[in-house]
Structure formats: C-alpha cells, structure tokens
Amino acid sequence: MFRNWRAGKKSRGRKAGIMYPAIILVLLAAGFVWANKGSTQPGKSPDLISINSMQAFGPLELPPVDFAHDLHTQVLAGRGEGCASCHPQVKDNFVFTFSGLSAEGKEEAKTMYHAQCVSCHRTENSQGRSSGPLEGECRSCHQKTSVDKSVYAGAGMDLALHAKHVKYTEDKYGTCGTCHHVFDPKGQELIHIQGQELGCRACHQKEERIALSSLFQSPDESLFTPRISAEYLAGMEPASWSQVAHLACVNCHLRFRETAPNGQGQKAPVSCRSCHERSEDPAGSSQATVPRLKRGQPDAALISPGPDDPQTVLQDPEHASLMQAVPFDHKLHEQSVDACRSCHHQSRLESCTTCHKLLASEKGGMISLDQAMHTVDSEKSCLGCHREKTLNRPECAGCHVFGNKEWPQDTDNCRICHDPKSPHHKELASLSSKEQSALAKDLLLTRGKEPTRPELMPLPQEFTIQLDSEVLGSLSFPVRLSSQDMAELRKRLTKEPEQTRPQDLIQEMPRTVTIERLADQYGAVDFPHAQIADSLQKGMAEDTLAQAFHQSPFTLCQGCHHQSPPSANPPACASCHGKPFTEQNPGRLGLKAAYHTMCMDCHDQMKITEPANTDCSACHEQKKSRIISDTK
C-alpha cells in the first residue's frame, strides 16, 4: 500500500538492527513467565518434614525444604531398600535425626545434605526413572510451601495403645523398664523404678527439634535409645519429644516387624502417615475393652489445696475459710479419657494441687487452682471437659447448645462437686492419703442425696399454751396429745419428701401441644411434646455425668423452657418472645424465630435430619400463597 514511498538505503539495515532487541525483549518476557509459573504445591500431607536445621548457622539464604518422607520411603521400599539408605545405624538402631554426621559449618552441612539427597536423585535419573529435583533446580526443593497443619496430628500413647503394647511385648520384654526409664543423677545413668513410671513427656517436654549442631556426636559414641546426650549431662534439657519418640518407637517397631511371630509384626507402624494422619473422628477408641492400667492410683480422692499451699487455712487457721474439698471419682474418670495426660497434662501423674496453688504461681504456669479446675474452654479443666462432652454428643447438645458460655451460672451448682459433707481442711491435713481416699469414696456414694435428717428431739406430749389478752387477761390452756396424735405427728415430720422423677413428669405431660400462635400464612403445629421429652430423658438416663449434674427433675424441661425457674408448669415461649427487634431487648428473638431456632438448632445438634429444616410442610401446612401479609 505504501509502495510509492522510497525508503533510504541506509535505513533498511538499521531497521533490521532495531528489530533484534525487540525480539530479545519478547523472548525474555516469555522466558520470565515460563520460569516463574506457579510452582507452589499445597502441602497437605502429614508426612512433610520441614528441614530447617540450617537455622543453627544463621539466617537462611533459601526457604527450608519441605521433605515428603513417606513418598521417599515408598520409593525406596520399591527398590528393596529401607531406612539404612539415609539414616545411619549405631548398634542395630537407626538414628532418625538425618545423617547424624558432624558438620562444622554452613558449607559443610549444605554439602552433606546435597550429597545425600541430590546424588540419589541423580542415580535415579540416570537410570531412566523419575526422580526428584537435580542440581541447579534449587527452587524445586527450596520453595515456600504452606504446610497444611489440618491433616497432621501429633502422635502419642493413649491407654488403648498402651494396652496393645503391653500385650505384644509382655512375653518378650517383660518389664515396664523396656520403655520407661528415669535418670539417676548419682550413677549418671538411666534406671527403671517399678511403680513410678511416668509418661515420656514428663521429662522430654521440648517440642521443637534441636538444631543440627547440638546433635552431632562422633559415630563411636553410643547413639541409640535411650541415650544420654552430652548436653543433658552438661545441664541442658533432655532431648525433644519428637526425637526420642522416633528413636525409641520407630526402632522398636522396626525390630518388631522382623522378629514378631505369626505375622503380627506388620501391625507396628513405621510410616509417617500411620501415626500422624489426623483422622476425621479422633474419638471412639475402644475404651470399654481396655483393662484398667494399675499404677497405684486411688479409686477416689479429695481435691483440695494441699497442706503446703501458702494460702491454706493452716497458715491462718482462725480466719481463712475455703470451699469444701471435692470428692473425686478417679476410677470413673479414668474410663472417660483416652490417656492419663488428658488431665495429668504434664505426664507426671501427680495431683493437680502439686503445681496449681490457690494463688497463681510460676510452677503452675501462672494458672491458679480455681482456673485449673473451672476454666470453661480448656480441655484439661474439669468444667472444660464436662462442657466439651455436653456439646460434642448429640444426645446432650440439643439442649446444651443454647447454654451460656459464661460461668458461674448458678452458684447453687457448686455444691454438686464441693460436697458440704466434706471434712474441714484442718481435719484433712491430719488424714493420710489412704484415709482421704476412703473418705472420698464414702462421700461419693452419698452424693446428691439429701443429708440424713437429724434425729428428732423428744416431742412433748403435754404442754401449756399461754395467751395474754387485754379483755380476758392472761389465759393458759393445758394441752395433752393422745398417742394417736403423737404417732401422726411423728409420721408427718419424718416423712421423706416426694421426689418427682422425670419419668413421672413425662407421664403427666400432654402428648401433643398445638401451637396456634402466628398461624396465619402457615397452619398450627401439632408438637409431639411428650415424645420429645421422652427421647431427651432416655439420652440422660444412663449417663453418669448427666445424673450428677441434673439435680432437679425439672432440668429436663429447662432445655427448651429456658431462662425460667425449674417448674412442672414452665412458661410458654410467647411469655417472653414477642415482636422482634424491640428497642428494649434488641437481641431477643421474636416469637417466630424463637420457635424455629429452638426446634431447628436442637435437631441440627442432635443430628436429626428428618424433618429437614427447609421442609416447612413436615410441620405445618401452608394456608396462603403469600408469606408477607401486610402488603396489598
């Protein structure tokens, strides 16, 4: 089109010259895009180990490597190789801190890692198999992934597992000393004292792995479990839980696999996933079949501040007064938890009051005894655990979901635990722990029942009534009761009060209640009152926790008839729930929402799917086609 224009001869060459930078620019851009294509893998596997031990040598130059352990063990297993490919062995035991060789500095450590990892990849690659990243592909390993913690669960022993371990090792290894040990400072060695075994984390508390430099030992020193590291002897803390657990457990499992008879060996887990994968339903281990682990624990105990508590009455016996001691059914509670450390959270199996004093102290982690027992959102406190149970079990959650989180709600409930019949602290100090235990057992038997009535004083059969009157003057009337009268009187005064049982209440309540309020667009609801009360009652009947705390038979009603005193004739919903969004009480639901929220939320919590919340006709028929009535 522009052929009429003559271009200068010089400019033709120059024009080509300027095109080159342009082409290079475009190519650079393309390369840039290609190289930086999104290469993050979401770390969602429980076997990812973050190799960040180079931190010991100073700030990291590249991000730590997220190492997929199970993947590697699988590949190696496919080649017939085991742990020895990467982990050194000392005296038949593997050291699971990687390589365990000594490295003086950053460069050496880096070379060591690269020599181990990349050389293996190169071997794989050169044999035509798919391999991990090779030299030069630094960022394929050193990339910022976000490890998804939701699929990773910390592993540990619980009562069921412990019972299994005991079963499998009883014949071969015999004593508890196979795993349980304690450090004897006198002999500078690890010994086992029968009957005083503790959880591992009682001493091995540190969670994080120790940095590389502090783990280096020369190969000829003893490295296998149990090992006393030079650092510990020098006064540092014992090795971290993660390290000792793998050293002890995995090595033993490996041995078990090889030596156990009847193919039982395969039960011992060695892959990361088999211990660390968070399962959807962590509860539900077979507690019922686990025999009670006897370690000299009492069946019952009295919980009160110890005699050495700075605040106890012994310091100031005249003026100090404390809450009554709590009789605690230890045997019953053992069946309700997975492991001892659910409550004895330091794995030390001591009484709570050893560390938690009346006033918060360093030893108790600045948690006072009151907080340790009563904090509602802790997993370790009494109230916290009780609350968790009410919210996590469908048969309880239907009513308890409406409860207020704040505590104390009702100080009348304190005496359920703090038994008024408990002895005074002065007395407690003089009792031995065995005596206290026996006393606690007795108190537990009589808990909740009305205290025995005091003996009646002798009733007078003859007495005189004195009257002073202005008109008639002072009069006296001698009274003499007949023996029938006396018997009748005695009977009335000693009669046990009537105890209403929930079952009786249910018998007497209406079968269905027709809710006709607001029946405008939608018809009345025939509410199966008795059936619902009955199913709630059944959920409570066998549960010891419910029996302990549902003191009044009307507690059954208070799940729905809430915010009102317990009564056989509790108020209807409309007593308090009227128009919504009022100025005085903006947070209170209107009547329609109160009905629906109570029913639907209870169904949701109790995992009742029929009737579905959105199935209006299951409960009431729609009478009109429009739902808004105040428009034309």
Q: Which is nearer to another protein, 34 or 477 (CB)?
A: 34
Q: Which is nearer to another protein, 430 or 609 (CB)?
A: 609
Running DSSP on this structure, what letter comes out for residue 340? G
Q: Does 10 bind another protein (CB under 8 A)?
A: yes
- 3-state SS class at 22: helix
- 3-state SS class at 205: coil
Running DSSP on this structure, what letter comes out for residue 147? B
Q: How far is the CB of 46 from another protein (least distance, A)?
A: 18
Q: Does 18 bind another protein (CB under 8 A)?
A: yes
Amino acid at position 564, single letter: S
The residue range among 199-207, 214-222, 557-565, 613-621 that interacts with another protein, by the rule CB under 8 A, is 613-621
Q: Which is nearer to another protein, 21 or 261 (CB)?
A: 21
* DSSP secondary structure string for all residues of 162-215: HHHHHHHHHHHH-SGGGT--EEETTTTEEE--TT----GGGT----SPPPGGGG
Place of tokens 């199996």: 349
Amino acid at position 356, single letter: H
Q: Does 30 bind another protein (CB under 8 A)?
A: yes
Write the Ramachandran bin of 247: left for phi over 0, alpha for psi from -120 to 50, otherwise beta.
alpha
DSSP run (H or E) holding 464 = strand 462-469
Q: Does 614 bind another protein (CB under 8 A)?
A: yes
- Are the C-beta atoms of residues 122 and 134 closer than 8 Å to each other? yes
Q: Does 628 bind another protein (CB under 8 A)?
A: yes
Amino acid at position 131, single letter: S
The residue range among 9-17, 260-268, 333-341, 509-517 that interacts with another protein, by the rule CB under 8 A, is 9-17
Q: Which is nearer to another protein, 348 or 588 (CB)?
A: 588
Binding residue for another protein, selected from 223, 325, 589, 606, defined by CB under 8 A: 589
Q: How far apart are CA 327 and CA 329, in angstroms?
A: 7
Q: How far apart are CA 448 and CA 416, in angstroms?
A: 7
Q: Does 8 bind another protein (CB under 8 A)?
A: yes
Q: Which is nearer to another protein, 498 or 630 (CB)?
A: 630
Q: Which is nearer to another protein, 15 or 164 (CB)?
A: 15
Binding residue for another protein, selected from 259, 321, 411, 631, defined by CB under 8 A: 631
Tell which residue, 632, 618, 630, 602, has the closest CA to residue 522. 618
The residue range among 205-213, 290-298, 361-369, 586-594 that interacts with another protein, by the rule CB under 8 A, is 586-594
Q: Which is nearer to another protein, 258 or 281 (CB)?
A: 281
Q: How far apart are CA 78 and CA 345, in angstroms?
A: 41
The residue range among 14-22, 120-128, 419-427, 470-478 that interacts with another protein, by the rule CB under 8 A, is 14-22
Alpha-carbon separation of residue 534 from 242, 398, 475, 609 (angstroms): 50, 14, 60, 18
Q: Does 613 bind another protein (CB under 8 A)?
A: yes
- Are the C-beta atoms of residues 213 and 57 closer than 8 Å to each other? yes
Q: How far is the CB of 394 from another protein (least distance, A)?
A: 14
Q: How far is the CB of 392 from another protein (least distance, A)?
A: 12
Q: How far is the CB of 7 from another protein (least distance, A)?
A: 5
Q: Does 283 bind another protein (CB under 8 A)?
A: no
Among the residues of 375-501, which ranges form H helices? 382-392, 394-400, 414-417, 425-430, 433-445, 483-494
Binding residue for another protein, selected from 14, 79, 501, 623, defined by CB under 8 A: 14
Q: How far is the CB of 614 from another protein (least distance, A)?
A: 4
Q: Does 5 bind another protein (CB under 8 A)?
A: yes
- Are the C-beta atoms of residues 201 and 241 closer than 8 Å to each other? yes
Q: How far apart are CA 600 and CA 611, in angstroms?
A: 9
Q: How far is the CB of 36 from another protein (least distance, A)?
A: 4
Q: Does 590 bind another protein (CB under 8 A)?
A: yes
Binding residue for another protein, selected from 147, 153, 337, 616, defined by CB under 8 A: 616
In this structure, the chain runs to a length of 632
Q: How far is the CB of 585 from another protein (least distance, A)?
A: 11
Return the number of other C-beta atoms located less than 10 Å from residue 118's C-beta.
19
Binding residue for another protein, selected from 127, 262, 286, 404, defined by CB under 8 A: 404
Contacts of 238 (CB under 8 A, 6+ apart): 183, 203, 204, 205, 206, 229, 232, 244
Number of residues that bind another protein (CB under 8 A): 44
What sign does the dihedral 396-401-402-408 (CA atoms) show?
positive
Q: Does 627 bind another protein (CB under 8 A)?
A: yes
Q: Does 409 bind another protein (CB under 8 A)?
A: no
Site string for another protein, 566-585 (x = CB under 8 A): --------------xx----
Binding residue for another protein, selected from 16, 33, 234, 465, defined by CB under 8 A: 33
Q: Does 586 bind another protein (CB under 8 A)?
A: yes
Running DSSP on this structure, what letter comes out for residue 182? E
What sign does the dihedral 372-378-384-389 (CA atoms) show?
negative
Q: Does 138 bind another protein (CB under 8 A)?
A: no
Q: Does 480 bind another protein (CB under 8 A)?
A: no
Write the Ramachandran bin of 91: left for phi over 0, alpha for psi from -120 to 50, otherwise beta.
left
Site string for another protein, 593-612 (x = CB under 8 A): x--xx--x------------
Alpha-carbon separation of residue 382 from 352, 375, 385 (angstroms): 11, 8, 5
Q: Which is nearer to another protein, 149 or 426 (CB)?
A: 149
Binding residue for another protein, selected from 26, 191, 366, 493, defined by CB under 8 A: 26
Q: Which is nearer to another protein, 531 or 613 (CB)?
A: 613
Q: How far is the CB of 578 from another protein (least distance, A)?
A: 13
Q: Which is nearer to another protein, 216 or 527 (CB)?
A: 527
Binding residue for another protein, selected from 263, 282, 497, 587, defined by CB under 8 A: 587
Q: Does 392 bind another protein (CB under 8 A)?
A: no
DSSP run (H or E) holding 532 = helix 529-541
Place of tokens 């593997």: 94
Q: Does 27 bind another protein (CB under 8 A)?
A: no
Strand partners, 66: 50
Contacts of 103 (CB under 8 A, 6+ apart): 109, 112, 212, 213, 216
The residue range among 4-12, 116-124, 462-470, 509-517 that interacts with another protein, by the rule CB under 8 A, is 4-12
Q: Does 405 bind another protein (CB under 8 A)?
A: yes
Running DSSP on this structure, what letter comes out for residue 235? T
Q: How far apart are CA 199 and CA 205, in angstroms?
A: 10
Tokens of 514: 């027709």
Q: How far apart are CA 275 and CA 69, in angstroms?
A: 13
Binding site for another protein (CB under 8 A): 1-2, 4-8, 10-11, 14-15, 18, 21-22, 25-26, 29-30, 32-33, 35-36, 404-406, 580-581, 586-587, 589-590, 592-593, 596-597, 600, 613-614, 616, 626-628, 630-631
